[in-house]
Amino acid sequence: MAKTSYPDQQRTLGSLLRLPYQELQDAVYGALASHGFADLRTAHSAVFRHLDPDGTRLTTLAERAGMTKQSMAYLVDALTESGYLTTAPDPHDGRAKRVLLTRRGDKAMAALIALSAQFEQRLAERLGTTKMTRLRALLEEVAQVLESESPREEA
């Protein structure tokens, strides 16, 4: 008999949200190698999912990801060395820098989004279109409620 963690036994909201997210991450990051991005790992999602199109300060990335500035700097440095990110002066504060996607980073982001959409399509095929539409609508509503309570601000 397979053992499950205590939260999974209780089927908390966190447990119910975590399983599909973990499956999504595994599928997306597992398929990246076939798209030319074999060096990207799930840990890098902490950077990619929090970047703004016009760049984001390292401290803001760390805050959004719920990690230390040092841990985020480690990920950003690795992605910069691999050619996915670059830094540029912050237009609002000359002392600060913003983290930006490079052309390679843009291509990786496009692959991540496309692979995520493919996962969603496969899930819709298993759940049925009606249920998937309902699930997506409920998750959009939850996101709107939570975002309205804690707006994202640039540090």
List, for residues 5-19, the tens digit of each pLDDT value.
Answer: 665 667 888 888 999
Return the higher-pLDDT residue of 2 and 90: 90
Three-state SS for 14?
Answer: helix
pLDDT at 154: 44
H or E stretch at 72: helix 69-81
12 sits in the region (left: phi over 0; alpha: psi -120 to 50; else beta) called beta
Q: Which CATH number fits domain 13-149: 3.30.1340.10, 3.20.20.210, 3.40.640.10, 1.10.10.10?
A: 1.10.10.10
Closest among 56, 44, 48 to 106, alpha carbons compared: 48
Q: How far, CA to CA in Å, does 154 sit from each of 46, 51, 146?
A: 17, 11, 18
Question: Tokens 């540090």 identify what position?
Answer: 155
Domain map of the chain by residue range? 13-149
Is the pLDDT higher at 6 or at 45? 45
Cβ(143)–Cβ(151) below 8 Å:
no
Q: Is the dihedral of CA 35, 40, 44, 47 positive or negative?
A: negative
Write down the pLDDT at residue 103: 97
